[in-house]
Structure 1
């Protein structure tokens, strides 16, 4: 018998306990009959994050992923969605695949994660030359750049906001993000990607597609879109950009 509310799909979502954006983002993009069940990865709110400490902090979060997987699997989800993106870019394409495969082995169900979902979204748009924005530090942006280049994209430029704590990522106001998108844009860029799931960009990215006239891909939109389509859910949703309305 299908779940009464999740009769089309039950998604288990994994996210850092400090993340306050990914859950409401995913919830507002839920079609009827799809439910999301959140498992929090215990994450102390690292203060005074620096270039030196960012990778170590992200790795500490990654170490809690399997415990979160075991917890959420008790509700018998059909599929998993990764609500943290940084660690899914580490180690290039091989690292992304190894991360996905490790979670899937533990869970026994498939996973959508930010890195691989971003690749699928960019390919769907037909974009090759990209720019990207993150709340990270340069050490992490280098990992994201390496991943995209290994996937065959030309990274024209990137920006990192260097947010001082995990919760501070969710405090970046839209006017700052608008200016950063303008800095990244140019005739040499086919598409702009935003990474960092605690950065609130779903609605802003959709609007930016209209005033920049090109794809602007928010990581939460790409990951959720990837999960829906992987499960045969083809609903076209308005207000979240062309990825969900057209593809």
Structure 2
């Protein structure tokens, strides 16, 4: 048996406790030699439909215990793995949260919401089609968040039905592919699939082939930002045009 090099980088991940897809996606994309270390976060009611108020509550919840736990692995970078939790509060909140994580963990930080912006900026994209598994106000908050960063949304598509916390993660790649196509607009330069619990990473290249434009997902954007922040090398299992920007 050949020993694996595990010394390239340690990636800490803060993940909502019902999320079942963030960690598999990151494992799928991780650079060989890096390791992933997850701490699950509470702060919301699993039995409620995850609307704007619930996601805002998650973003504002006390994560000091979670930060102490993840700091124990001495990570090089920490990911805050919920897009809507900070989209619902706005850019200033997102920046402050990242600074709190940096100060506590003595590590770099990437938030899911901030990663979407960074990825779109790296691609030079100013106009997008946006989609998520949420209904109503969260999507409008996301549109305003991106608009504050100079990114306009030309079309916003939702899944068309209220999903519980587990329902988001149970969407099939085929359903997500259809959702992305419905978010497209002739003048959109890219498609955004927002949510760390959607199985979007698996269909990025299929959507890009169908639409001939870049696709940016929450989990893919976070891995892109990790690789850029740590200077990690590209490899063969990175999905989509975004990684050509490294």
TM-score (normalizing by structure 2): 0.90
Residue 157 of structure 1 and its aligned partner are, at CA, apart by 1.6
Runs of 5+ unmatched residues, structure 2 = none
On the 8 A contact 2:44/2:55 being kept in 1, the answer is no
Aligned partners of 1:5, 1:88: CA distance in 2, in Å?
35
On the 8 A contact 1:45/1:165 being kept in 2, the answer is no
Residue 239 of structure 1 and its aligned partner are, at CA, apart by 4.9
Aligned partners of 1:163, 1:100: CA distance in 2, in Å?
30
Runs of 5+ unmatched residues, structure 1 = none
Aligned partners of 1:198, 1:143: CA distance in 2, in Å?
18
Size of the alignment, in residue pairs? 241
Name the counterpart of 1:168.
167
Name the counterpart of 2:186.
187
Aligned partners of 1:208, 1:65: CA distance in 2, in Å?
36
Aligned partners of 1:105, 1:143: CA distance in 2, in Å?
27
On the 8 A contact 2:14/2:79 being kept in 1, the answer is yes
Aligned partners of 2:83, 2:26: CA distance in 1, in Å?
14
TM-score (normalizing by structure 1): 0.90
Alpha-carbon spacing, 1:163–1:67, altered in 2? closer, same or farther (3 Å): farther
Residue 60 of structure 1 and its aligned partner are, at CA, apart by 3.5
Residue 43 of structure 1 and its aligned partner are, at CA, apart by 5.4
Name the counterpart of 1:146.
144
1:130 counterpart SS class: strand
Aligned partners of 2:84, 2:216: CA distance in 1, in Å?
16
On the 8 A contact 1:207/1:241 being kept in 2, the answer is no
Deviations 1:91-124 (CA, angstroms, capped at 9, x unpaired): 3322221221122222222211112211111112
Name the counterpart of 1:110.
108
Alpha-carbon spacing, 1:154–1:79, altered in 2? closer, same or farther (3 Å): same
How much is the aligned-residue C-alpha RMSD, in angstroms? 1.9
